[in-house]
Amino acid sequence: MMITGAIDMDIDDPRPVPEPALLHAPLDGAARRAGIFPQPDLPLTDPSVLSAPTLLKVERLNLFYGEKQALDDINLQVARHSVMSFIGPSGCGKSTLLRCLNRMNDLIDDVRIEGRVMMGDTDVYAPGTDVISLRKRAGMVFQKSNPFPKSIYENVAYGLRIQGQGDRVVLEEAVERSLKGAGLWEEVKDRLKESAQGLSGGQQQRLCIARALAVRPEIILMDEPCSALDPIATARVEELILELKREFTIVIVTHNMQQAARVSDHTAFFWMGKLIETGLTEKLFTNPGHRMTEDYITGRFG
């Protein structure tokens, strides 16, 4: 099952985490070493992001797996046509929160959610909300690329087929548009009927992005999409993210802080189910507001 593969189980990490008391400790001047991370030539935030309307709004969100609380009072907003990264140590709740945004957690037993998630005007957890159309609006790309054992063409057409689309012209148009959108068209246009499993890892991951694009989502949720890719394939996906944000809104979980710095407008840092800090990526990495954030981004824990 797809969802199982998306869940990190490397949670019982024995490494020590900082004292909760540090959470609200003010940063002293010496600790604000601007530019310590990442590259000094970090691009400036696209000003359009600052005034973009909110597309996703998370309010007072708590999530429990059985007795265990995995998200603790999360408040967060994602602007339309922006990229937000979720960073933080393994097990801090990044994937859990990502799955809350399009109700993928519904598929897990014994989950209890409190609070509110808004996707545009849609109250994601309201009783009448249509979960299928919600997941269409917010497509998902997982850590491990998971093409179906079908042709390249059928992988991309899949979402439309299950919606009942059988018109060959419509499907062909959607497959081409989506593969172009995912930056894969030129590489595969002559082998659409071949098995998707013959593609390289990086191509498979872009194929999964194409599959998500085929149903015309507004939002793309990515859970560590590059962690199984080599640096070149990673760079290709990162370029793609920067292109896609013109049309889509992207939330990406990454354990790679340079990646967060390269692709995202905003970054949210989580620790043990809490959102410690969120803000413009550039600010968060060069002048974080919390010592915990600074300790994490400078590699003192994680």
Ligand X SMILES: Nc1ncnc2c1ncn2[C@@H]1O[C@H](COP(=O)(O)OP(=O)(O)O)[C@@H](O)[C@H]1O
Return the amino acid letter for 54: T
Query: Is position 73 an interface residue for ligand X (rule: CB under 6 A)?
Result: no
Cα separation, 300 vs 34, whole angstroms: 17
Sites for Mg ion among residues 34-63 (CB under 5 A): none
Residue closest to Mg ion, measured at CB: 95
In the complex, minimum distance from the CB of residue 105 to Mg ion, in angstroms, rounded to a whole number: 13
Is the Cβ of residue 11 or residue 170 nearer to ligand X in the bound state?
A: 11
Q: Which long-range contacts (CB under 8 A, 24 or more apart) does 174-181 make?
A: 174/214, 175/210, 175/214, 177/213, 177/214, 178/210, 178/211, 178/213, 178/214, 179/152, 179/207, 179/210, 181/209, 181/210, 181/213, 181/244, 181/247
Q: Which is nearer to ligand X, 7 or 235 (CB)?
A: 7
User: Using CB under 6 A, which residues numbered 4 to 23 contact ligand X?
Assistant: 7-8, 11
- Smallest separation (angstroms) from ligand X to the CB of 90: 4
Residue choice 8, 46, 106, 218 for contact with Mg ion (CB under 5 A): 8
Q: How far apart are CA 54 and CA 267, in angstroms?
A: 15
Q: How many residues bind Mg ion (CB under 5 A)?
A: 2
Site string for ligand X, 94-123 (x = CB under 6 A): xxx-----------x---------------
Q: By CB under 6 A, is residue 70 in contact with ligand X?
A: yes
Q: Which is nearer to ligand X, 94 or 137 (by Cβ)?
A: 94
93 interacts with ligand X by CB under 6 A = yes
Site for ligand X in 214-233 (CB under 6 A): none
Query: Binding of Mg ion at residue 105 (CB under 5 A)?
Result: no
**The only residue of 82, 85, 95, 155 in contact with Mg ion, by rule CB under 5 A:** 95
Segment near ligand X (CB under 6 A); pick from 45-53, 87-95, 134-142, 145-153: 87-95
Looking at 90, 165, 227, 298, which residue binds ligand X (CB under 6 A)? Answer: 90
Size of the residue set binding ligand X (CB under 6 A):
14
For the chain, what is the total number of helices (H) and then of strands (E)? 12, 10
> Rounded distance, CA 225 to CA 259, Å?
11
Residue 45, helix vs strand vs coil: coil
Minimum distance from CB of 91 to Mg ion (Å)? Answer: 8
Per CB under 6 A, the segment of 88-96, 114-122, 183-191, 283-291 that binds ligand X is 88-96
Minimum distance between the CB of residue 238 and Mg ion, rounded to whole angstroms? 19
Pairing, β 249-253 against β 83-87: parallel
The angle formed by the CA atoms of residues 80, 86 and 92, to the nearest 5 degrees, is 145
Determine the interface stretch with Mg ion among 1-9, 13-21, 73-81, 242-250 (rule: CB under 5 A): 1-9
Query: Residue holding tokens 């694009």?
Result: 213
Q: Is the dihedral of CA 238, 103, 177, 157 positive or negative?
A: positive
The answer to whether 256 contacts Mg ion (rule: CB under 5 A) is no
Closest among 261, 263, 268 to 282, alpha carbons compared: 261
**CA-CA distance, 287 to 289, in Å (whole number)?**
7
Annotate 216-277 with DSSP letters as a single string. --SEEEEESTTTTS-HHHHHHHHHHHHHHTTTSEEEEE-S-HHHHHHH-SEEEEEETTEEEE
- 3-class DSSP assignment, residue 93: coil
Judged by the rule CB under 6 A, the positions of this chain that interact with ligand X are 7-8, 11, 65, 70, 88, 90-96, 108
Judged by the rule CB under 5 A, the positions of this chain that interact with Mg ion are 8, 95
